[in-house]
Structure 1
Amino acid sequence: MTNKKIYSLEEAKRRLENYCAYQERCHSELERKLYEMYLSQEEKEEIILHLLQHDFLNEERFSKSFARGKFNIKKWGKGRIIRELKFRKITNYNITQALKEINESEYLTTFDQLAKKKYTQITETNIQKKRKKLADYLLYRGWETDLVYSKVSELTS
């Protein structure tokens, strides 16, 4: 038998305030957390409303923070960021706002540095296989296909 903690409404509010204050959260992450707390539908709605009213939960702020972080830290391209935000059920409006957080010249510079670094790390001697590995790596990270293929051609010619 598992011992699941039963939370009062106030306990749940405080725990979720802390959960949201620690790091930006989206609605789907919060829904998952609420589901784990075994609360009634009315309690869940009241908590979500409370968190929204007190600015603990803000989807636009989450989206912007997510986009900045994944670009700056993980060097993801816009495609991967969009895919991940859609997976988290973020609206198209918030995705558009989030992508505005990425400076275009910084974006292209980062892409260039990432591609060159990866190209030097690939030890494959067959040029076709090396090109494919580089393209696959950059595409997986969400960089646009036109950027990827022009960079692969530039580096391997």
Structure 2
Amino acid sequence: MYKKKPTQISSKAALSKVQFICSKQEKCCSDIRKKLQDWNISADDQDEIINSLMEDKFIDESRFTNFYVRDKYRFNKWGRIKISYHLKHKQIQERIINEALEQINDQEYKENLQDLLQSKLRSLKDDDPYQLKTKLYRFAQSRGFESQLSLNLINDLLSELK
């Protein structure tokens, strides 16, 4: 089977490459570290490159987190829990995540979930209210919305159907 040859480049070339990458798209430290590891850059050189990128403002965890939250919320229609989970996976500090999530308007967030649930309800064929509630709840959870908010909106939605 074909195996990809490990790439080996110098630290200086790696710095130049990641500067170019970061100038085109927001990245976090863990994304860059992963790329540097793929290029077989030593751990000390990785730290040096990442520090250089942060000093030169190519990488800013807060800026990255704000963009990430906004994009995943608006375009992917993710809830706070799913966004937070993915950011934690990228090793972003809890404080930075919470600050970025606070920028989501609560009323807009609730309306967004309500629209998603109504859309999902139209696509469901079940007549049994229990089955409908279960499917809508699972859907909301898979999108990363809070349990209580999801249940309240699902109950309101299903009570309107009666």
Q: How would you bin the TM-score normalised by the shorter chain?
A: over 0.9
Paired position in structure 2 for 1:12: 14
Q: Which runs of 5+ in 1 are unaligned?
A: none
Match of 2:71 among 62, 69, 72: 69
Which residue of 2 is the match for residue 156 of structure 1?
Answer: 158
Structure 1 segments of 4+ aligned residues over 6 angstroms from their partners: none
Summarize the Cα distance change of 1:124–1:38 in structure 2 as closer, same or farther, 3 Å threshold: same
How far residue 70 of structure 1 moved from its aligned partner, in angstroms, is 0.5
Amino acid at match of 1:128: Y
Q: Could you list the per-position Cα deviations for residues 59-118 of structure 1 after superposition, in whole angstroms to 9, with x for gaps in the alignment? A: 111111111000000111111111111111111110111112212222122112111111
TM-score, L = length of structure 1? 0.92
> How far off its partner does 1:2 sit?
5.3
Distance in 1 separating the partners of 2:120 and 2:25: 31
> What amino acid maps onto 1:52 in structure 2?
M
- The offset of 1:9, in angstroms, is 2.1
Q: What CA distance in whole angstroms lies between the structure 2 residues aligned with 1:2 and 1:74? A: 32
Q: Partners of 1:103 and 1:27 in 2: how far apart?
A: 28
Q: What count of residue pairs does the alignment treat as equivalent?
A: 157
Matches within 5 A, 1:1-157: 3-157=5-159
Distance 1:115 1:3, change over 3 A: closer
Q: Which moved more, 1:67-76 or 1:120-129?
A: 120-129
- TM-score by length of structure 2 reads 0.90
Query: How far, CA to CA, are the matches of 1:120 and 1:2 in structure 2?
Result: 46
RMSD value, Cα = 1.5
In the aligned structure 2, how far is the partner of 1:114 from the partner of 1:76?
A: 10
* Alpha-carbon contact 2:6-2:38 (below 8 Å) kept: no
Structure 2, gaps ≥5 residues long: none
Give the whole-Å Cα distance in 2 for the aligned partners of 1:21 and 1:93.
Answer: 25
- Shifted more, 35-44 versus 49-58: the winner is 35-44
